A and B are shown apart, each in its own frame.
Chain A
Amino acid sequence: MTAAWRRLKPTALALIVPLLLLAFWQMATANQWTRLIPTPYQVAEYMVDFAWGGIYDDAYSATLLTHLLASMSRVYGGFALAAMFALPIGLLIGRIPAARMVLDPFLQLMRPIPVTAWLPLSMILFGLGAKSAFALVCLGAFYPILLNTVFGVRSVDPKLFEAASMLGCKGNAQFFKVVLPAATPSIFTGLRLGLGLAWFVIVVGEMTGVPQGLGAVIMDGRTLSRTELVICGMIVIGVAGYISDRIVVATGNRLLRWSLTHHG
């Protein structure tokens, strides 16, 4: 086919499912299969108002950017906090058997507890508001970063240690010259999953009584029975999370050109 089609093909294919879903949504609301969900057009109109105002002019008009920035600060802040803990702990567990024996059982025990279950305790420990939100997002992002770091450090090809040592790189120098670079693809995968999860748990994180944020908007929408507000919040989280992931993947592809497995 033509060059233009080859360029557009991935986008066209990617749009099939969302468009089908949109058509189904339109059909369902037009035929009144449900009265509780607004039509795509109503949501679109509300989205415009949410972003720029000028249509309904209510409490949420033209506030999208404020809420988005509030959520982004929690997502990236919580994620950075998680990386700050998970990376060193992961390197420690991966490299030092004693650290593994002390920390691993405890961390594995805590792992199945969902972020939602931590919500009440977090509000007691960190109070109502932003600190709790950071803590919950951080918790959500922690495990994928930790587990992938441990995996990356432990699955270095043993031959590479032999190769390094016969070339004169021994002992602790191997940590920086062999372990860290060999583990980067895995660590990167952990960071990517961690950031994805940070977006994933943002609504729970913002159930902690923060006034602003996309999660807060969704919770308000639920309380006020304003489904279009809820759907707008969901769409913005989806799109923001998607863009954030694409940026991470593009960065990864640049930095990890040497790695065959890294083409997301």
Chain B
Amino acid sequence: MAEFPIIEIKGVDKVFKLQDQTIHALAGANLTIAKGEFVCLIGASGCGKSTLLRIMAGFEQPTAGEALMWGKPIDGPDPTRGMVFQDYALFPWLSVRDNIGFGPASRGLPRSEVNAIADKFVELVGLQKFASAYPHQLSGGMKQRVAIARVLANDAQLVLMDEPFGALDAMTRERLQDELLEIWERTGLTVVFVTHSIEEAIFLAGRVVVMTPGPGRIESDNALDLPRPRDVASPEFNAIRRALGAKLHSHHGKKAAA
């Protein structure tokens, strides 16, 4: 296993055919992610971030090129790759505990073991008081905690997050960012995190991958070696923010000139 990276995206194209048009969502994407990395994808709307993430999850197949996990083609969704959706996608008929236990229960573990695992992860995300509440009784931040716990409870090695904190207020978002980093540092997970926010990317990531649209391409791959915890007000942070901002907006200039 050690000779292969956890994720390899090799020359991936993705074309969507609608009735009257074809959309090049991704063109020639290459990306290698090593175990334990925290990678953020940023880019303008429509540049293919979600598509790339969904290919890694196995929800979509590349039109050309290869998507590999540990050197083997990704040919469908799998519990080793957990997805956290922006709109949570919790099962509304299951309590917090049963949502978190859904994966273990699907693997056919005995009820007592499922409950033990679920309780452990309920505690990890601090929702003990809400273990028997239903999703509609939770705030957005709590729902996203459940969504994260549900993926972790299933022993996912790779966590794919598509703007998971996009719908949350600033304070909740900051708390969840801290908690996510804490879990990541403690567990050695690999995280791929899509965001619209440069600040969020710089705060979280070990690497920021900048994408540009029309067709979706990977523009640049930026390793960040700022020490953690990162201070969003520090000059170093701001310098990176400016540099990334320039890369992110460069194609606007090109478009306007054309």
Contact B136 A157 (CB under 8 A): no
Kindly supply a per-residue 1/0 record for chain A positions 153-179, scoring 1 wherever the CB is within 8 Å of any chain B CB and 0 otherwise.
000010110111111111001000110
Contact B85 A169 (CB under 8 A): no
Query: Which residues of chain B are near A166, meaning CB under 8 Å?
Result: 57-59, 77-79, 81-83, 151
Contact with A along B78-104 (1 / 0, CB 8 A): 110111010101111111000000110
- Are A165 and B136 touching (Cβ within 8 A)? no
Given A167-B82, A167-B103, A168-B106: A259 in contact with B77 (beta carbons within 8 A) = no
Flag whether A121 is at the interface (Cβ < 8 A): no
The 8 Å CB contact of A259, one of B59, B76, B81, B93, is B93
A224 touches B (CB below 8 Å) = no
Question: Could you say which residues of chain B place their CB within 8 Å of the CB of A106?
Answer: none
B184 at the interface (CB under 8 A from A): no
What residues on A are CB-neighbors of B57 within 8 Å? 162, 166
B79 and A168 within 8 A (CB): yes
Interface residues of A in 178-233 (CB under 8 A from B): 178, 181-182, 184
Contacting residues, chain B, for A41 (C-beta < 8 A): none
Check A260 for interface membership: any CB of B closer than 8 A.
Answer: yes
Contact B136 A163 (CB under 8 A): no
B106 near A258 (CB under 8 angstroms)? no
Q: Are A167 and B89 in contact (CB under 8 A)?
A: no
Q: B102–A258 contact, CB under 8 A?
A: no
Instruction: Contact check, A165 vs B107: say whether CB atoms are below 8 A apart.
Output: no
In the assembled complex, the Cα of A157 lies from the Cα of B95 at a distance in Å of 18
Cα distance, A226 to B96, chains bound together (Å): 60
Tell whether, in the assembled complex, residue B89 and residue A157 are in contact, meaning their CB atoms are under 8 Å apart: yes
> Which secondary structure characterizes the binding site on chain A?
helix
B151 contacts across to A, CB distance below 8 A: 166-167
For residue A260, which residues in chain B have a CB less than 8 angstroms away from its CB? 92, 136
- A6 at interface, CB cutoff 8 A: no
A254 within 8 A of B: no
Q: Given the known A-B contacts A167-B154, A168-B107, A168-B154, are A258 and B92 also in contact in the complex, defined by CB atoms under 8 Å?
A: yes
Bound CA–CA A163/B59 (angstroms): 10
Is there a chain A Cβ closer than 8 Å to B134's Cβ? yes
Q: What 1/0 flags go to A241-264 for Cβ under 8 Å of B? A: 000000000000000011110000
Q: Contacts A162-B89, A182-B93 given: A167-B79 contact, CB under 8 Å?
A: yes
Which chain B residues lie closer than 8 Å to A173 at the CB level?
Answer: 106
- Least CB distance, B23 to chain A, in whole angstroms: 19
* Complex CA distance for A157 and B92, rounded to whole angstroms: 11
Residue among A165, A170, A177, A258 making CB contact with B134, cutoff 8 Å: A258
Contact surface of B with A, Cβ cutoff 8 Å? 57-59, 76-79, 81-83, 85, 87, 89-95, 102-103, 106-107, 134-136, 150-151, 154
Q: List 23 A-B contacts (CB under 8 A).
A: A157-B89, A159-B87, A162-B83, A163-B83, A164-B91, A164-B106, A166-B58, A166-B59, A166-B79, A166-B81, A166-B83, A166-B151, A167-B102, A168-B79, A168-B106, A168-B107, A169-B106, A173-B106, A178-B91, A181-B91, A181-B93, A258-B92, A258-B134
**Leading 5 A-B pairs by shortest Cβ distance:** A167-B103, A169-B106, A159-B89, A168-B79, A258-B134
